[in-house]
């Protein structure tokens, strides 16, 4: 499952068990990335809170837009874990088994909605060339119709998935199989 020792839900005690129980109640299952972080229950608890807020909490950007950003960042980082999980989430949220294919076509197509294209281009650039982000990138997003609050949320989602991709890639976290990958969306 990972390259380091982990504490699985069946052997968890104390604070780790509390955090796992909370995750299971909110998400339906405990993802391998969370199990990989189980030896640091306070950090894991805060990370899950951040995930719940930036991805599921109220605020700017639709859930679909947030999932599209997660997929683009994970794909840019060559993170199978993030790309698989969030392409599945995108399909669930949009209730469309071809949602990922449509997102890829939109991102690379000439006729993509300007808003989606701007969001995804920003997420990809922030992931691959963060030092090259300039005020012009923000202006491009505004011209595509995004508000400053939406731009901030896009940045938070992209930044969160850059963090999470590095956790999964750096610890060798493997993708769950079958039903253990079915989460509450």
CATH label, 63-162, candidates 1.20.1290.10, 1.10.10.10, 1.10.540.10, 3.40.50.720 = 1.20.1290.10
Q: Does position 178 have pLDDT exceeding 70, yes or no?
A: no
Task: Please provide the average confidence, as pLDDT, over all residues in the chain.
Answer: 88
> pLDDT (tens digit, 9 = 90+) per residue, 75-128?
999 998 887 886 766 666 555 555 555 655 555 566 678 999 999 999 999 999
Specify whether the CB–CB gap between 93 and 63 falls below 8 A.
Answer: yes
In this prediction, residue 185 carries a pLDDT of: 47
Give the pLDDT mean for 129-138: 98
Give the pLDDT mean for 147-154: 98
> pLDDT (tens digit, 9 = 90+) per residue, 11-44?
999 999 999 999 999 888 899 999 999 999 999 9
Domain boundaries, the chain: 63-162
In this prediction, residue 92 carries a pLDDT of: 62
Interaxial angle between packed helices 63-76 and 148-171, expressed in degrees from 0 to 180 and rounded to the nearest 10: 40
Q: What is the pTM of this model?
A: 0.87
Q: Give the C-alpha distances (Å, rounded to integers) separating 1 from 47, 67, 153.
A: 20, 24, 31
């Amino acid at each position: 499952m990972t390259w380091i020792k982990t504490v699985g839900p069946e052997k968890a005690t104390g604070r780790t068990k509390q955090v796992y129980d909370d995750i299971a109640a909110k998400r339906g299952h405990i993802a391998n990335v969370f199990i990989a972080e189980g030896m640091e229950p306070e950090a894991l608890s805060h990370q899950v809170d951040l995930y719940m807020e930036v991805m599921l909490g109220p605020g700017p950007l639709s859930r679909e837009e947030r999932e599209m950003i997660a997929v683009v960042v994970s794909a840019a980082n060559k993170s199978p874990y993030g790309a698989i999980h969030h392409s599945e989430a995108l399909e669930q949220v949009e209730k469309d088994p071809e949602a990922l294919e449509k997102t890829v076509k939109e991102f690379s197509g000439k006729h993509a909605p300007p808003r989606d294209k701007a969001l995804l281009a920003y997420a990809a650039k922030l992931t691959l060339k963060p030092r090259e982000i300039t005020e012009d990138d923000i202006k491009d997003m505004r011209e595509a119709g995004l508000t400053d609050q939406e731009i901030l949320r896009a940045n938070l989602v992209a930044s969160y998935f850059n963090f999470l991709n590095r956790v999964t890639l750096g610890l060798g976290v493997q993708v769950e199989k079958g039903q253990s990958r079915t989460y509450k969306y």
